[in-house]
Amino acid sequence: MKKYLFLVLMFLTAVPVLAQDEYEENGHRLPPYNFIGLQGGVQNTFNKEFNNWKTFTPTMSLSFGRMFNPVVGARLHFNGAWDKSGVNYPLLSDDGHYKYNYVTGSADVLVNLCTLFGKKDWYPVNLFFIGGLGANYAFENYGRSEAAAPGSDMMYADNDDRWAFNGRVGLGLEIPIVRWLSFTLEGDLNARFAGKSEVFNDDILQMTAQAGLNFKFGYKKAKKAEPVAVVQTVTETPATETAARPEYRTRIDTVWYDDVTYKDVTADRDIKKEIFFSVRESDVADSDAQISAVAEFLKGVKNAEITITAYADKGTGSSKLNMNYSKQRAQKTRQALISKGVSPSVIKSVEWKGDTEQPYVDNDKNRVSIIKGHGVYTQKEKVVTKKFRTKEVRERIN
């Protein structure tokens, strides 16, 4: 037994290496391809009343399938042969178990977990998830009669053929040996339902464990590149013609040029606008040229700030009246800017001085509202860099 286990271990270790060499020699012959599988092993149909260790039987399988790509494949799988079940008291004809035959046919989906979650399209050992649906058919049921089990309900387990739908899940291991042959190990759990699912003793679940071979064929042949014929034409030139042929030489010239780029440069920008008023006047229209000029200035700058300061002249009115006029001029200037689209948050201060300050020598000019603005603008600055390139110049020397 130890020798057999050692030989199996050596085989499983050596096969992936041989398979990898074979696949590399054949350019990694990947799916799609067809296959026929032959397997053999053991199975056990579980029941609730009998010692399941006594009901293992041989089993074998035949499958026809196709791998559509490195991840997904499908097959038609037929499994069957002999089966056993039992009851918890001895039959007259045996020690409590009875025999029958069965065939299970199933359409299975195969998913290669190695290529599904791995980064390559081929591995020397591949693990498959198996899932499918089909039907189970049981026949030739032996030793099931009232005479074989007096007093039991064996009379209900007559010799009629029995069938049921079959659901399957399992795992399979595939080890490629050569391009057209793989070694397989597979374990499946089958569940029978929705028919005469039990032969006698509620035999619903079945386990199979098998080993075998997959014979692969139907690879798509790679197209061979056809050789391209190269035709070289040689023209002989008479000696007299060669002597008269002109000769040339090539020199390398350096050409200098200006490489022009542009960079963004920021700078401060200021504006000052004055709105002059007549005596006892304070109205400002948003269409006023000075108001429009300030609004246009704000469109081209960032971080803008506006201040408004209004005055009145000393030559007319009283100090109280003049303070009120300068206040109205300041507030109406602010409102005209807002009506023109200037954001109130940009206007940082609004002040009125009355006639306490006279910004101009000319008395009439002091009836004024002065707008001052500041912001930062960005402009493109031209940058010129001297660069050179070389070029070949062909010139005649005779």
Residues 52 and 201 in one domain: yes
Structure letter (DSSP) for residue 281: -
* Pick from 199, 186, 217: nearest CA to 40: 186
- Quote the number of domains for the chain: 2
Residues 164 and 286 in one domain: no
Tens digit of each residue's pLDDT (9 = 90 or more) over 269-320: 999 999 999 999 999 987 789 999 999 999 889 999 999 999 999 989 899 9
Residues 270 and 152 in one domain: no
- For residue 241, tell me if it sits in a domain: no
Under a CB-based contact definition with an 8 Å cutoff, are residues 346 and 390 in contact? no
- For residue 296, tell me if it sits in a domain: yes
Q: DSSP of 159-219, one letter per residue?
A: SS-EEEEEEEEEEEEEEEEETTEEEEEEEEEEEEESSS--SSS---EEEEEEEEEEEEE-P
Backbone angles phi and psi of 320, in degrees to 5: -65, -45
The pLDDT profile of the chain, 398 residues, written as one tens digit per residue, is 556 556 555 554 444 444 444 454 554 578 899 999 999 999 988 776 667 787 789 999 999 999 999 999 999 999 998 887 766 656 555 566 777 788 999 999 999 999 899 888 878 899 999 999 999 888 776 555 455 555 555 544 545 567 788 899 999 999 988 888 899 999 999 988 776 655 555 567 889 999 999 999 888 765 565 555 544 555 555 555 555 678 888 888 888 888 899 888 888 999 999 999 999 999 998 778 999 999 999 988 999 999 999 999 998 989 999 999 999 999 999 999 999 999 999 999 999 999 999 999 999 999 999 999 999 988 888 899 989 888 888 888 77
Residues 67 and 150 in one domain: yes
Residues 296 and 156 in one domain: no
Containing 60, the helix (H) or strand (E) segment is strand 57-67
Under a CB-based contact definition with an 8 Å cutoff, are residues 241 and 56 in contact? no
Tokens of 144: 């099931």
- For residue 85, tell me if it sits in a domain: yes
Residues 199 and 270 in one domain: no
Containing 20, the helix (H) or strand (E) segment is helix 2-25
- For residue 397, tell me if it sits in a domain: no
Residues 355 and 290 in one domain: yes
Tokens of 83: 């089966």
In sequence order, which residues have a C-beta less than 8 Å from that of residue 127 and are 6 or more positions away? Answer: 112, 113, 114, 171, 172, 173
- For residue 2, tell me if it sits in a domain: no
**Domain span at 85:** 11-217
Counting Cβ atoms within 10 Å, is residue 37 exposed (0-12), middle (13-18) or buried (19+)? buried
Which pLDDT value is given to residue 136?
A: 85
- For residue 209, tell me if it sits in a domain: yes
State the amino acid at position 390 in one-letter form.
Answer: T
Q: Give me the count of residues in the chain.
A: 398
Residues 212 and 265 in one domain: no
Residues 171 and 320 in one domain: no
CA dihedral 353, 357, 359, 360 (to 10 degrees): 120
State the amino acid at position 71 in one-letter form.
Answer: V
Under a CB-based contact definition with an 8 Å cutoff, are residues 310 and 323 in contact? no
3-class SS at 231? coil
Which pLDDT value is given to residue 359?
A: 95
Which pLDDT value is given to residue 3?
A: 61
Q: What is the mean pLDDT of the chain?
A: 81
Q: How far apart are CA 189 and CA 138, in angstroms?
A: 17
* Pick from 109, 49, 52: nearest CA to 76: 109
Q: What is the CATH number of the domain that holds 83?
A: 2.40.160.20
Tokens of 329: 């001029």
Tokens of 79: 């499994």
